[in-house]
Structure 1
Amino acid sequence: MKKVLAAGSTFAAAVLLAACGSGQVGGSGGGGVQNSKQLALIPGVQAEPFYISMQCGAEAEAKKLGYTINTSAPQKFDAALQTEKVNALGSNPPAALLIAPTDDTAMLAPIQQVANRGTKIVQVDTALKDSSVAVSSFSSDNTEGGKLAAQTLAQLVGGKSGSVLVLDTIAGTSTTAARAQGFSAELKNHPNLKSIGIQFTQNEPEQAAAKVTAALASTPDLVGIFATNLNTGEGAATGLRNAGKIGQVNLIGFDASPSEVDGLRTGEYQALIAQDPAAIGQQGVDQAAAALEGKPVTKTLTAGLHSITKSTMDANAQYFYKQQC
């Protein structure tokens, strides 16, 4: 965290120096955008089905509209690693950058640097606290997604009383924080269910598994777990499996990765809250193209969410995430 904050301070100073010399698309400013048809996508992390699905949607739409798009993702969901990817755009900035900021504060300075060179910024999935740098931001309504997860858990539990654990990822991640908050707020409307708090997993399945193991030992009446993304969900399933509690504790996962879908089918999960990442990628490109072509741009867009149980999964297969395009 100290490294991330230091990097943010360094880039903030650089932004102040560069702000007065920002280039424009097609302009003559040094280091500015040279190719008005070149887009870039920097997801939160590589090899995650959610972001792969987003990439597929973005690539298909870019091709349809006559743009090219290059995707470069950090190996971990980490602000310092993502900053390296953003900085790499400096010598040849794209006309537009689609990015899922991995930290809602630390990523502002490096993204602002790219914008100062004339690049249009479109936020996809996650967002900065200060979204003024972006021409458009497109994500799921994560607060509503958390609320939907709590409602789904309440339906599955029925009138049974018990405790509920919430597993979040990394502090400062806007999307998962909103999911956890929405879930916790809605849970208060169901007096038979009591939250034992939100715990962070650093987006590591092993840590999620360990948190579940500890919760099972300390909370005998645990009836539900809400995992705010696929890594925490997969780790939670491992923790329940190791304790022989599969099916005895309701696991609600966010997202619909191949492993989560398999887990829903086999009973490791009782429900999934699926997003539509392909639509986010597609419409993110649409907004970028509109900004570059001088057409109307929508500042904030919201993607749909879908509560899927084993009995409804076949009817909602279009929302399952991909491992390759």
Structure 2
Amino acid sequence: MDDRNSFYRLGKVNRRTLMMGAAAGAATLAMPAVLRAQAAPTLVTSIRSLSNPYHAVWKQGAEAFAKSVGLEHVTLVSEGNSEKGIADIKAMLAKTGGNMVLNSDPNDTPDARPIVEATVGAGAFVVTQWNKPADLHPKDFTPNYVSHIEFDGIASGKQIAEILFKAIGGSGGIVALGGMISTTAAIERKKGLDEALAANPNIKLLDFQVANWKSTEAFDLTSNLLTRFGDEIKGIWAANDDMGVGALEALRAEGLAGKVPIVGVDGIKSAVDAVRAGEFAATVTSDPFWQGGMGLAIPLAAKTGKIDVATLPPENREFYGTAVLIAQDNVEEYYKNNIDSQPVIDWTDLWGRVTGPIRT
């Protein structure tokens, strides 16, 4: 059944019901609740910043899904301000009367609780991604808090570190750029780096600096690190691609692009271009296009009754999604299928990329 047509049919039923209710008298009082329950919901995405290429692709995925089901889509941007992010969501809940589904990447880990509580309290449905407190669980807010999605940051951080170590010949000094220290992804990716370092004693971590996921901060920090350590720096580990690209620009300013390998996470276009050019050794993508669309598809399926949230297994409530390594051996194929053209995703395959439950 075409979702768009089903929502249109619901709208027609509402108008007939309203006319019948007006004639019946007492039933009229119940009409607003019925209308809210059956009207087409609004799809809402809440992310940190569209200036970040990763979140820009996330928005594209959300819009592609919204178009596929014929629903209105609204993007809320916190610009790294937790209070703004939470306030904007509450305002949208009020505007829609709770008739919405939300895909939220909370700006910071503590933000997830007020976002979930406000959404559930309004009767809306929500999926969170990346950041939430360890004691906040979808099962405690069934059915409205449908799922939480992460990607195994420890595995990704360790994988790219090992590739970097191999690229510099198994020994030498590296520097590392971390994300916001209070976010799950930054914490886990740093743990992965630490595990790789512990297993490779010939690699020396010269310095670890926090660049808060931003290319501008990474550029400045890398420039300073190059001045400080000079040719001791054989490679650069970055917790996300945007910081990696900032580091690359700092290397380019010193004529070192392609001579000092970089690794990152996210699979943004500029990083994939750098892999193709031999300036990045690798990147790992969680596929933000998929995240943007599937983070709406799952709660919409719950709201419309296509899935019964109460019967979902634990691995569908809090799960790791599938991450993909992009390196020299597969970069051209990835570029063709994901950058040269819009990815083709089956939005009805809600659980096809589940790799397992999140570690507790």
TM over 0.5: yes
Give the Å deviation of 1:84. Answer: 3.5
Alignment of structure 1 residues 23-62 onto 2, 5 Å: 35=39, 37-62=41-66
Offset from partner CA, 1:185-209 (integer Å, 9 cap, x none): 2222122212234311133323212
CA distance in 2 between counterparts of 1:179 and 1:320 reads 25
Q: What code does the residue aligned with 1:312 have?
A: N
- Please point out which of 190, 195, 199 is paired with 2:205: 195
Give the Å deviation of 1:154. Answer: 2.4
- Number of residue equivalences: 296
Cα RMSD for the two superposed structures: 3.0
- Please point out which of 98, 105, 111 is paired with 1:100: 105
Q: What code does the residue aligned with 2:212 have?
A: Q
CA distance in 2 between counterparts of 1:125 and 1:319 reads 22
Does residue 304 (structure 1) correspond to residue 322 (structure 2)? The answer is yes
Q: What is residue 245 of structure 1 aligned with on the other side?
A: 256
- Please point out which of 80, 85, 88 is paired with 1:85: 88
TM-score between both structures, scaled by the size of structure 2: 0.72
Q: What is residue 14 of structure 1 aligned with on the other side?
A: none
Q: Secondary structure at the match of 2:108?
A: coil
CA distance in 2 between counterparts of 1:296 and 1:221 reads 57
Q: What is residue 118 of structure 1 aligned with on the other side?
A: 123
Paired residues of 2:125 and 2:300 also in contact (CA < 8 A)? no
CA distance in 1 between counterparts of 2:39 and 2:319 reads 27
CA distance in 1 between counterparts of 2:149 and 2:39 reads 24
CA distance in 2 between counterparts of 1:320 and 1:192 reads 37
Q: Secondary structure at the match of 1:135?
A: strand
CA distance in 2 between counterparts of 1:197 and 1:56 reads 36
Q: What code does the residue aligned with 1:230 have?
A: D
Paired residues of 1:103 and 1:128 also in contact (CA < 8 A)? no
CA distance in 2 between counterparts of 1:229 and 1:321 reads 22
Q: What code does the residue aligned with 1:113 have?
A: A
Q: What is residue 291 of structure 1 aligned with on the other side?
A: 302
Bigger radius of gyration among the two: 2
Alignment of structure 1 residues 1-325 onto 2, 5 Å: 35=39, 37-65=41-69, 67-74=71-78, 76-92=79-95, 93-132=98-137, 134-159=145-170, 161-219=171-229, 220-294=231-305, 295-297=307-309, 298-317=316-335, 318-320=337-339
Consecutive unaligned residues of structure 1, counting only runs of 5 or more, are 1-25
Q: Which has the higher contact order (CA 8 A, sep 6+)?
A: 1
Offset from partner CA, 1:164-223 (integer Å, 9 cap, x none): 222112221222322222122222212221223431113332321222122223334222
Q: What code does the residue aligned with 1:38 have?
A: T
Paired residues of 1:224 and 1:251 also in contact (CA < 8 A)? yes
Change (3 A) 1:41 1:209: same
Paired residues of 2:267 and 2:287 also in contact (CA < 8 A)? no
CA distance in 2 between counterparts of 1:34 and 1:152 reads 52
Q: What is residue 12 of structure 1 aligned with on the other side?
A: none
Paired residues of 1:49 and 1:322 also in contact (CA < 8 A)? no
TM-score between both structures, scaled by the size of structure 1: 0.79
Paired residues of 1:169 and 1:176 also in contact (CA < 8 A)? yes
Q: What code does the residue aligned with 2:83 have?
A: A
Give the Å deviation of 1:311. Answer: 4.5
Q: Secondary structure at the match of 1:91?
A: helix
CA distance in 2 between counterparts of 1:277 and 1:125 reads 12
Q: What code does the residue aligned with 2:174 have?
A: V
Consecutive unaligned residues of structure 2, counting only runs of 5 or more, are 1-30, 139-144, 310-315, 343-360
Q: Secondary structure at the match of 1:55?
A: helix
